[in-house]
Amino acid sequence: MKRLPDFEAWAIFAKVAETGSFARTAAELALSQATVSKAVTRLEERMKTVLFHRTSRRIVLTESGHTCLERAARILSEGEAVEAEVTEQSKSLRGPIRLAGPMSFGIAHLAPALPDFMAEHPEVLIDLNLDDELVDMVGGGFDVALRIATLADSSLLARRLCTVRLLLVGTPAYFERFGVPQHPRDLVHHRALQYAHSRAGSAWRFQHATEGEFSTTVPSPLRVNNADAIRPAMCAGLGLALQPEFLVWDELQSGTLASAMPDWQVPSIALHIVTPPGRSRPARVQALIDFLAARFAVAPWARPAQD
């Protein structure tokens, strides 16, 4: 198997040629003089040639050393340049951010929020991926993700932004035709428009302050993998749906939709910002996290995170 070049040794060799001294190179690179000497010796043994003539008073490049110096110096300068660039990007608000979020929330709330951030930080490049399926943050190279759920334990780092209520909603015309359910048991006489990614599955589970929990399965003519796809059937009066408040807030305010069974609560979910393992993150990523946290904390549908 072919060995990789000894990049560290070539960089040290270039530095020795620049300073003209093993001792001075060791001091500048914060290495021991023995480490510097061994690196040059490794190269000479590997190349089967002598790179420096050494005397008690000075070192001088050999002909072979002169031949190698230009490319070795390039290795050193390129390494210094890439580290400087990455360090600068990590400290300044420029460079790429890969961001993931759920489809409906992303279209309705995340994408409309981004122009303000982009205007404030024009050198940050955002790569937005929207999908109702949970993305592999590490495998997909994502810096930040928004997740709306009760999070399972994982190695990911999560910051809870706010609580999101799930409401039982339908059109006023639907309720006028089929009646307004007062108790979850009444739902057997209704029709459910189901969201496929619900962690509760096909059962609808409710909680009451005094009556406890009640779970029921409602006849369903439609099951979809995106919450927005429920809207046409719901608006046509074909059934009821459990919808996150952020998706139906405007319709509830205008009266286009109405909610039912206010005393029976569906277990709330929460909006989280999730990042990969490791607490060090570039300044641009932290700036986006802080921006989104501030933006969604004051949304009209957001409930305090401690709820």
Residue 182 in this model has a pLDDT that exceeds 90: yes
Candidates 1.10.1040.10, 2.40.160.40, 3.20.20.70, 1.10.10.10; CATH matching 7-87: 1.10.10.10
> Rounded to 5 degrees, what are φ and ψ at 273?
-100, 125
pLDDT band for position 174 (cuts 50, 70, 90) = very high
Predicted pLDDT at 141 = 85
Task: Name the segment(s) of the chain with CATH classification 3.40.190.10.
Answer: 95-164+270-297
Of 104, 146, 101, the C-alpha closest to 128 is 101
Q: Give the residue range(s) of CATH 3.40.190.290 domains in the chain.
A: 166-267
State pLDDT tens for residues 143-152.
999 998 766 6
pLDDT confidence band for 91 (50 / 70 / 90): low
More reliable by pLDDT, 40 or 88 = 40
- Write out pLDDT tens, residues 254-289: 999 999 999 999 988 889 999 887 656 788 999 999
Q: How confident is the model at residue 307 (pLDDT cuts 50, 70, 90)?
A: very low
Residues 204/217, Cβ–Cβ less than 8 Å: yes
Domain with CATH 1.10.10.10 in the chain: 7-87
DSSP conformation letters of 103-130: HHHIIIIIHHHHHHHHHH-TTEEEEEEE
Burial of 210 (0-12, 13-18, 19+ CB in 10 A): exposed
Segments in the chain forming alpha helices (H): 7-19, 22-29, 33-47, 63-91, 103-105, 111-120, 137-140, 172-178, 231-235, 245-254, 283-297
pLDDT digits (tens, 9 = 90+) for 113-136: 999 999 999 999 999 999 888 778
Mean pLDDT of 206-210: 92
Write down the architecture of domain 166-267 according to CATH.
3-Layer(aba) Sandwich (3.40)
Domain 95-164+270-297 in CATH 3.40.190.10: yes
pTM over 0.75: no
* Token digits of residue 161: 């932004």
